Amino acid sequence: MQKAWKRMPQWLRDTIMFIFIMGCAVGVCELLSACYDDNNPFATSVFILAVVLVSRFTTGYWPGILASAVGVVSVNYLFTYPFHEFNMSIDGYPLTFAVMLVVSILVSTLTTQIKRQEQLRYEAERDRMRANLLRSVSHDIRTPLTAIMGLSATVEENEALTDEGRGMVEEIHQNAQWLLHLSENILSVTRFCDEGVVIEKSDEVVEEIVGSAIRRFRKNCKTDIPITVSKPEEILLVPMDATLIEQVLLNLLENVAKHSPSATEIFIEIRKDARRIWLTVADNGDGIVQNRLIAAHPHLILHTTARRADHLLALQDADFLPLGAVEASDRSRHMGIGLSVCRAIVRAHGGEIYARNKIDGGAEFRFWLPAEEESNT
């Protein structure tokens, strides 16, 4: 019964609750009216209570406002002499309606705020528990993974090892390295999700950070894919944690290498506007699977086809998934957690990260950082 109630649409639950409470109010007033030959002195109080209950156990303002109107009409028509007739000349009639209306609005407002606070507390507690679990698991697997990597590297150096065996050991080493990288990313996410984490910023040259990220990308992925960097002539100094922003760029570059194998070129753009520094990482591959993203700004849709839409999209929690469909036999790994790290780092700097599919093919990730340190005063 409880599951069936929760599966009902909210409007249907509100309607049932409204009918039940107002029906009970009418029933109670009918029972009380049997004790009086004239007007029921408790009818107004009963319906005010009904308005309070309707406002408390339904969502929005309209059920409470409707209950106020129904209550005033019921008191006038059913429980005020002459019965079953409307009498607009009754003293205090407008005041009664006004009181019920104000009560319904106040209770609905307070109830909405209470429900919202309860939901926020629940979500915060859930996120805290999830972060603690992820942090604990990540810490626990780092030590055995490091041992596996060390042992596999030692075995790989054995000259007596066959080519087949060497390939298997190399795969073990790569998988252990991927898991270690994943655990580090998870630790980064949980760190930035914690309240009170303060980023230590210093003025850094953006071009140098981009160059360092490209060098690390070349070393880690061992790829010769061309990378074109577009930058302004002026030197841009931006307050940031250089290591963390370099990690964002590295994660975005690695995402191209792992999830867009058809890409033949990567484009990086550095741009400045009045108050922000924009960094863009794009490719000319297959683009992002559309259902992995949530449109944050529908008015920014520029082009739509049967296969691809050019959306500017804000990355949200549900979007931190692999950008391409990975077959079960595919050896590429799901590095969606890397995008979660990107969002956490960028937001910790006071910025935001976006993604879109380009009209001419390929994916584009864009994030911005404040050009100047925001004052706390």
Q: Which two tokens stand for residue 353?
A: 């990260």
List pLDDT tens digits, range 220-271: 777 788 999 999 988 889 999 888 898 889 889 888 887 777 778 899 999 9
Q: Which two tokens stand for residue 227?
A: 């990378």
The residue-averaged pLDDT of 67-72 equals 83
What is the rounded distance in angstroms from the CA atom of residue 276 to the CA atom of residue 278?
A: 6
The residue-averaged pLDDT of 157-182 equals 80
Quote the pLDDT of residue 91. 65
Strand partners, 364: 282, 356
Q: Which two tokens stand for residue 12?
A: 């249907």
118 band by pLDDT with thresholds 50, 70 and 90 = confident
Give, to the nearest 10 degrees, the angle between helix 62-78 and helix 10-33: 20
Half-sphere exposure of 16 (CA within 13 A, CB side): 8
> At 228, phi and psi to the nearest 5?
-105, 125
What is the rounded distance in angstroms from the CA atom of residue 207 to the CA atom of residue 235?
A: 8
What is the rounded distance in angstroms from the CA atom of residue 154 to the CA atom of residue 132?
A: 34
User: Could you confirm whether domain 202-370 is CATH 3.30.565.10?
Assistant: yes
User: Residue 87, Cβ neighbours under 10 Å: how many?
Assistant: 12
* CB-based contact 270:279 (threshold 8 Å): yes
What is the rounded distance in angstroms from the CA atom of residue 309 to the CA atom of residue 95?
A: 56
Give, to the nearest 10 degrees, the angle between helix 43-57 and helix 62-78: 160
User: Residue 27, Cβ neighbours under 10 Å: how many?
Assistant: 11
Quote the pLDDT of residue 321. 33
193 band by pLDDT with thresholds 50, 70 and 90 = low
What is the rounded distance in angstroms from the CA atom of residue 200 to the CA atom of residue 197?
A: 10
> At 323, phi and psi to the nearest 5?
-85, -10
The radius of gyration of the chain's CA atoms, rounded to the nearest angstrom, is: 31
Is omega for the bond preceding 82 within 30 degrees of 0, making it cis? yes
What is the rounded distance in angstroms from the CA atom of residue 216 to the CA atom of residue 272?
A: 25
Half-sphere exposure of 168 (CA within 13 A, CB side): 6
What is the rounded distance in angstroms from the CA atom of residue 323 to the CA atom of residue 356?
A: 11
Residue where the block lists tokens 């949200």: 316
What is the rounded distance in angstroms from the CA atom of residue 197 to the CA atom of residue 277?
A: 23
303 band by pLDDT with thresholds 50, 70 and 90 = very low
**Highest-confidence range of 113-117, 245-249, 331-335, by mean pLDDT?**
245-249
Q: Which two tokens stand for residue 183?
A: 């655990």
Sign of the four-CA dihedral 33, 37, 42, 46: positive
Q: Which two tokens stand for residue 44?
A: 């107004």
> Nearest-CA neighbor of 156 among 177, 180, 173?
173
